[in-house]
Structure 1
Amino acid sequence: MQTQELSTAELSTSELEQLLAKRKKEERAKAEKEKVEYEKGRDEMITKVITTAKALFRELGEFKQFCHIEMDNQALKLSEYGKLRSNSKGGFSVTDSEDTMRVTRRRDTEPVWDERSTKAVELIKDFLGDAIKKRDIKMYEILMSFLERNAAGELEYGRVMDLYKHEDKFDDPRWKEGLKLIKESFSNHLKGYGYEFKVKGDDGKWQNLYLNFSSL
């Protein structure tokens, strides 16, 4: 260490600057090499993961189509066999003879309210603010909460159903007409079919095989 210090001390300012520049160049080269190696490894990892994800995504889509075909055929056989309700809208479950495997086709729907719901909410809010707010603020706040819209600006189906539980409490025409319009404006749109897969474990309980392809 002393030898290095002495030899460095003996160097001229120009020589010290050259030595410093050389060291900085070596450090930059080392840092650049480490950066290149890191990015190369990172990119290789991402490529492998994304390639696998793409393959699984493709296979999952193909599997969902396979489920559609197989369950459509099964629904037809069930209908002919008389085991599927005549009012079924497409959702049903089938279980194997040993009661260890089950496949369920779920009918996924989305509640929608048309333009009449806007007028309905206006009428109901007008009635609540005019006749209920001063008389029973707690009831007012509860009923108003059922008309709150979600982040997408839509009425929430569950909340509207809670609102209907109070339908017979008031006779005001605005209240009655508002609830009538909300009911008329409502429709349930089919988003698609979802599937659930279950197997029975050693403990005799059903276990889910989670395959989420609801967005496919």
Structure 2
Amino acid sequence: MSDPTDTPDDDSVLAAEYVLGLLSEAEEDAFARRLFLEAELRWLCDGWSEYFAALADEAAPVTPPAALWPAIEKRVYGPPMPVWRRLNLGTAVIGTALAAGLAFAALRFGWLLPEPLPLTAELTSETAGEVARIALDPESGSVTAELVGLFPEPGRARELWLIQGDNPPVSLGLLAPGTVVAFELPETLRAALEGAVLAISDEPAGGSPTGQPTGAVLAAGSVTAS
């Protein structure tokens, strides 16, 4: 991939700031909507991601001070408990230790596997604010979506789209005003959900007749771990 610093135009600068998380919330939402439609922007973001990753690889590792971790523990858990308090905890300590031991053993030997973190996306519009709330489960492929704003006019529909990297938008289905709608993602779309873009377009009743967005893109947002 070409060096993105070779094309220092406005879009390249915006892509760099988007990758670094330097844009304001409104700027990030507007840029995410453009990412949904413009493959060149997605190419720029990929280039900047690789560029910044290479810079990070060149940085020399720094060993933190020995006192850093005890200071973090003190801030999180408070000062150490006096010995007499620890000795008087009795069966509560034993029960807690036993439960912790069983939990460790369950994870260590595969008795219990942690559930994957759910993914969410809030789709927003510059004019109407929050438009839809989306939750995704990459393990089962289930998607729940609720349209909370910009309801369609009679004879029109709101269609939900997923875009992953440079791939064309994939329709997930139609949204119903004020109602939670459930979809199921094909297995081929479940692996790279985090960081993908979801968007809503205005379409004829029944959805897009072409398999691609035909109307205005009303809202967009990135999929993130909740």
TM-score, normalising length from structure 1?
Answer: 0.21
More helix by share: 1
Higher-Rg structure is 1
Higher relative contact order (CA 8 A, sep 6+): 1
TM-score, normalising length from structure 2?
Answer: 0.21
More strand by share: 2
